Amino acid sequence: MKRICISVLALLFVLAVLASAGCGDDDSSVPGDGQEQAATLVFSDPELQFQLTRALGDTAYGGADIGECLSTAGRIDEGDVNSWYTEWYETAERILSLAEASLAAGHEVSAREAYLRATTYYAMAEFYLHGDPSDPRIRESSARSRDSFARAAQLFSPPIEPVSIPYEGITLPGYFYRVDDSGAPRPTIIIQTGFDGTQEELYNQGAIAAVRRGYNCLTFEGPGQGEVIREQGLPFRYDWEKVITPVVDYVMSRPEVDQGKVALFGISMGGYLAPRGAAFEPRLAALIADGGVFEPWYPACTSIAPHYPPSGGTAEGLVASIRDDPDDFDQAIEEVMGESIQLNWFIGNGMFTFGVDKPSAFLLAFSQYSMAGVADRISCPTLVIDSDNDTSMKGEPQRLYDALTCPKDFILFTTEEGAGLHCQMGAMLLAHQRIFDWLDETLSPRGMQ
């Protein structure tokens, strides 16, 4: 068995995975200019700061409040992820109690707003717990987040409707957002998350923005995501077309849907999942990939490979070396996971959502995810999005764009305009302005004011 010096590799592994996951640039172990917009606000650790920025971004649509986020962050012991859980959970509990008090007093708007914020804070609380899938706090916090959103959903007019989407003998959870109660067929957008998001978060990341512009919206969770992995135990699958087709079937069954104007919008690793599904789904009228992803495993493996000699310095060589000697790789990476919050989370969440118990098994399964030989099957107009400081999927949007043969457009968001982070975190209003303006022009719906 090939053994390598763990003490030498420790720092290299940490820096490599930090760079591949969006917590540093390619040329330095310290944050680049784009990361500094997130890295200097509260936390010195750029990964923690990015997640805080993610929550702060939800303030655009009422999913968080700035003061609540900053006061919570200020109480967190940066070196202790249990402190992260405790402080966000306590904030969520406090805001939930405010929601319930407002509802009991008949103040439905105040209750709805507080339920939305509690939804975000419970989700923030459990984010770093996935290294131990048996931790009861994962299911408990997630359930409270989902329940908070369900309560908020009933206080909208019209209500946001919980739905069950038939899928391989079971159902997938979703929410259907209607523009109004008229029943008139309208353009409809399907929005899905990626590696670590939830469909409740999609309220802030596109769903309510769509409704404001005259689109119905369906959000859903598939295998490996949200409630589906936590409660049903279904892990991610690379052949996401098996998920998207039943979802489109469901949308097409709704009388409120204009069947000629159905779009699909994938966020984060959804920028791979949505295009993969669209390649096999001719009923879609438009596709949005934010950010676009050709092979989601490739950037991480490309960064790690030069620091793992058996790989020969390439992503493909890394996968081959893991396949040849998984135990060696597992020992190497497990020795250093505790030295980085980001590395520990990336590997832990990967094992959790892919339903495996070894880092090697996660990366080998991940390596099956590819648009090679598939991208040219997409026929609908497609928008591929990149952000100039998104190092988690660096180069992937361009790879996807280059592989497409359908009508296509490319948008690059920049750090200068405040939108350079992964999925434009912290700049939702600007992102949605450009994304939905493109969709308006592509589908030409009757705009709603």
Burial 191-202 (b: 16+ CB within 10 A, else e): bbbbbbbbbbbb
Structure tokens at 264: 């699909």
* Sign of the C-alpha dihedral computed for residues 23, 29, 35 and 37 taken in this order: positive
pLDDT for the residue 341 = 85
pLDDT tens for 111-170 read 999 999 999 999 999 999 999 999 999 999 999 999 999 999 999 999 999 999 999 999
CA distance 267 to 269: 6
Q: Average pLDDT, stretch 277-286? A: 99
Q: Average pLDDT, stretch 413-422? A: 96
Q: Average pLDDT, stretch 273-289? A: 99
pLDDT for the residue 59 = 98
Confidence of residue 343 (pLDDT cuts 50, 70, 90): confident
CA distance 447 to 449: 7
CA distance 84 to 129: 10
Q: Average pLDDT, stretch 100-104? A: 99
Q: Average pLDDT, stretch 434-443? A: 97
Confidence of residue 391 (pLDDT cuts 50, 70, 90): confident
User: Does the annotation mark 97 as catalytic?
Assistant: no
Architecture per CATH, domain 34-155, reads as Up-down Bundle (1.20)
Percent pLDDT > 90 in the chain is 81
Cβ contact 35:44 at 8 Å = no
Task: Tell whether the model's pLDDT for residue 11 goes beyond 60.
Answer: no
**Domain residue extents for the chain:** 6-19+298-366, 34-155
Q: CA separation (Å) from 55 to 65, 207, 213, 355?
A: 9, 16, 24, 27
Q: Which of 102, 145, 268, 387 is catalytic?
A: 268
Task: Tell whether the model's pLDDT for residue 201 goes beyond 70.
Answer: yes
pLDDT for the residue 9 = 42
CA distance 151 to 100: 10
Task: Tell whether the model's pLDDT for residue 296 goes beyond 90.
Answer: yes
- Provide the 8-state DSSP code for 379: -
pLDDT tens for 18-29 read 443 333 333 333
Q: Average pLDDT, stretch 276-304? A: 95
pLDDT tens for 226-268 read 999 999 999 999 999 999 999 999 999 999 999 999 999 999 9
> Of 3-17, 54-68, 203-217, which gets the smallest average pLDDT?
3-17
pLDDT for the residue 40 = 54
How many C-beta atoms surround the C-beta of residue 4 within 10 A? 15
Confidence of residue 15 (pLDDT cuts 50, 70, 90): very low
- Provide the 8-state DSSP code for 416: T
Decide the pairing of beta strands 216-220 and 170-177: antiparallel
Burial zone of 372 (CB within 10 Å; 0-12 exposed, 13-18 middle, 19+ buried): exposed
